[in-house]
A and B are shown apart, each in its own frame.
Chain A
Amino acid sequence: MGVDWTREIVDEVAGELGFAPQIALIYSEQDKTRLSAKARDGRITSLPPAADYSDDVATECRHIVALMGPEPFIEALKHGADIVLAGRTTDAAILAAVPLMNGAGVASAWHAGKIAECGGLCTEDPRGGGVLIEVGRDHFDVRPLSPETRCTPESVSAHMLYENSDPFRLYEPGGVLDATDARYEQLDSRTVRVSGSRWEKGAYTMKLEGASSGPFQTIMMIGIQDPDVLSDLPAFLERMSGHLDTVVQRTFPGLEGWSLSFRPYGYNAVSGTPVKPDYIPQEIGLMMIVTAPTQDLATRIAKSLNSTFFHFPRKPGIPLPSYAYPFSPAEIERGQVHEFRLNHVVSVDDPLELVRLSLQPVKVAAQ
């Protein structure tokens, strides 16, 4: 998928430049039959808050990938790859691979990989671009590539918090990085030296990722400035929602698997929680999300609601208002709902067991 698409780009560029590099292709996509066997052997464990792995959940996921460690990269580089195109790895593994291959300290290599995973985010100014890491046996140094910014003990150590539920322990294929006792020192004005982290070797597990492909959605948005509507939005939204549900049931009798959801932006669309007392917005954008089994049905439902959504009165018996559609046609096909389903790890005997690796020369397109 992504690997093959990227390979086509590399082939094209290499052809234009007249290069013929060795390309390693590394695939992380998993065969569901093989995972099923792993599950039967008790080698797949769920992480909270996920339920046990089942073939039903796997079937819902169009693709399942296993997050690779550094070993496939090392394997590819040892076989002479000039370019490695790989699927899903852990963020830190791809950066830890070369230091590990060259004999750097295991804890230092992994910690460096984690700190550098988002480039300049571990510097004082993330817009300054990437960072350079130099990894030794028991420490690593990190500094920004841009001369305009700097790394400080705070900017570097704070990155252990980022997108990480535990700021001290990072679970990776083959072990845990424990940075509880890590020391962060300012080496020069722009460079930080990090030492003191530990690597606890453990079972080699790979995290599985998979998202289900669910129903489809079509959205419509109206702007509302009418102060009478805005002065009592919860009641307005409740009446509108109930009425539009009735319209759908009348227009599509017996249809199942659909739903309407309303998101008043400028009010409480983001949180969905009650607003402060007496809060009245000056205007809102009211998004209606129609969810249905197919895109065509979602759009047909949206179209059928167009005029009711446009003219819904704040109370019965008053002249029909018109709200502000920003677009015409009003409905927008948003696509399919993809929900993350897998939160599991699979235990393997060898880091390459579930990885497909092939090494091949670039394909130069015929002139």
Chain B
Amino acid sequence: MTRLKDVARYVRSKNAGPFWVTIDVFFPDDHTFEACRSLPALSARSIGAIYGREADEVKRFEVPSLRTIKLSFPRRSPQGAVEERDMHSGQSYVRLLDLELGNL
């Protein structure tokens, strides 16, 4: 079973304004990007489920020139709320690293 961390070159997350988080998944080459871009595991529905979001709350973009998939969705609570654990969403990406992609 291939995991995202086995094939991605770099994965990062950050706030996109205080109400949204955005995750960028960079692939190392065109071949890997093409093999991954249509995988169900990297769909808006699948990623939304991991973060407790409906598929239609997740904005999903493919940027072929950068071999990148970008996923953006609303934060659970606005930046700085009483229960804040990660002010800038800098560690939100980590739970995607072990995402199972199937057999590539």
In the docked arrangement, what's the CA distance between A341 and B74, Å? 14
Residues of chain A within 8 A of B24, CB atoms compared: 161
Shortest distance in angstroms between B14's beta carbon and chain A's nearest beta carbon? 5
**How far is the CB of A230 from the nearest CB of chain B, in Å?**
21
* Given A163-B16, A164-B22, A165-B22, A271 contacting B85 (CB threshold 8 A): yes
Q: Of the candidates B16, B65, B83, which one forms a contact with A165 in the assembled complex, judged by CB atoms under 8 Å apart?
A: B16
Residues of A within 8 A of B15 (CB): 163
Tell me whether A338 is interfacial, beta carbon within 8 Å.
Answer: yes
Interchain CB contact under 8 A, B79 and A340: yes
* Nearest-CB residue, chain A, relative to B21: A165
Instruction: Give every chain B residue within 8 A of A261 (Cβ-Cβ).
Output: 82-83
How big is chain A's contact interface, by range?
Answer: 35 or more
Give bound CA distance, A215 to B15, whole Å.
Answer: 23
A270-B91, A343-B17 known; A168 vs B61 contact (CB < 8 Å): yes
The contact string, 1 if C-beta is below 8 Å from chain B, for chain A 198-220, is 00000000000101001100000
Contact with A along B21-57 (1 / 0, CB 8 A): 0101000000000000000000000000000000000
Across the interface, do A161 and B63 meet the contact criterion of CB distance under 8 Å? yes
Contact B79 A163 (CB under 8 A): no
Inter-chain contact A340/B72, CB cutoff 8 Å: no
Known A163-B14, A168-B61: A273·B78 in contact at CB below 8 Å: no
Chain A residue nearest in CB terms to B71: A165
Instruction: Find out whether the CB atom of A340 lies under 8 angstroms from the CB atom of B85.
Output: no
- 20 more contacts with CB within 8 A, not counting A50-B19, A158-B68, A340-B79, are A49-B74, A161-B24, A161-B70, A164-B16, A214-B82, A215-B82, A269-B85, A270-B85, A270-B94, A272-B85, A291-B82, A337-B80, A337-B81, A337-B82, A338-B80, A339-B77, A340-B19, A340-B80, A341-B78, A343-B78
Contact of B14 among A153, A162, A337 (CB under 8 A): A162
The 8 Å CB contact of B18, one of A215, A259, A343, is A343
Residues of A within 8 A of B81 (CB): 337, 339
A38-54: contact bitstring with B at CB < 8 Å (1 yes, 0 no)? Answer: 00000000011110000
17 contacts between A and B (CB under 8 A): A154-B66, A161-B66, A161-B68, A163-B15, A163-B16, A165-B20, A168-B61, A215-B82, A263-B85, A269-B85, A271-B94, A271-B95, A339-B77, A339-B80, A339-B81, A340-B78, A343-B78
Over the window 340-352 of chain A, the binary record of Cβ atoms lying under 8 Å from chain B Cβ atoms (1 yes, 0 no) is 1101000000000
In this assembly, does B86 line the interface, its C-beta being within 8 Å of a C-beta of chain A? yes
A293: interface (CB < 8 Å): no
Minimal beta-carbon separation of A302 from chain B (angstroms): 16
A154 to B80, CA, bound (A): 33
Given A48-B74, A211-B80, A259-B82: A167 and B14 interface contact (C-beta under 8 Å): no
Residues of B within 8 A of A (CB): 14-20, 22, 24, 59, 61, 63, 65-66, 68, 70, 72, 74, 77-83, 85-86, 91, 94-95
- Is A157 in the interface zone, CB < 8 Å from B? yes
Q: Please measure, in the bound complex, the distance between the C-alpha atom of A47 and the C-alpha atom of B19, giving whole angstroms.
A: 10
Whether the pair A271, B91 counts as a contact (CB closer than 8 A) is: yes
A273 CB to nearest B CB, Å: 7
Q: Which residue of chain B lies nearest to A269 when distances are taken between CB atoms in the complex?
A: B85
A164→B13 CA distance, assembly (Å): 11
Closest A residue to B67 by beta carbon equals A154
List residues of A (166-204) whose CB comes within 8 Å of B's CBs: 166-168, 184
Residues B82 and A167 in contact, CB atoms below 8 Å apart? no
Determine the residue in chain B with the shortest Cβ distance to A160: B63
> Closest residue to A215 on the B side, CB-wise?
B82
Q: Which residues of chain B have C-beta atoms less than 8 A from A163's C-beta? A: 14-17, 22
Across the A-B interface, the 7 shortest Cβ-Cβ residue pairs: A340-B18, A165-B72, A165-B16, A49-B74, A340-B78, A339-B80, A339-B81
Could you tell me if A49 and B19 are in contact, using CB atoms closer than 8 angstroms?
Answer: yes
B73 to chain A, nearest CB (A): 8
Q: How far is the CB of A175 from chain B (nearest CB, A)?
A: 18
Whole-angstrom CA separation of A259 from B77 in the bound complex = 17
B6 to chain A, nearest CB (A): 17
Would you give the shortest CB distance from A48 to chain B, in whole angstroms? 7
Complex alpha-carbon distance, A76 and B74, angstroms: 37
CA gap between A272 and B52 in the complex, in Å: 13
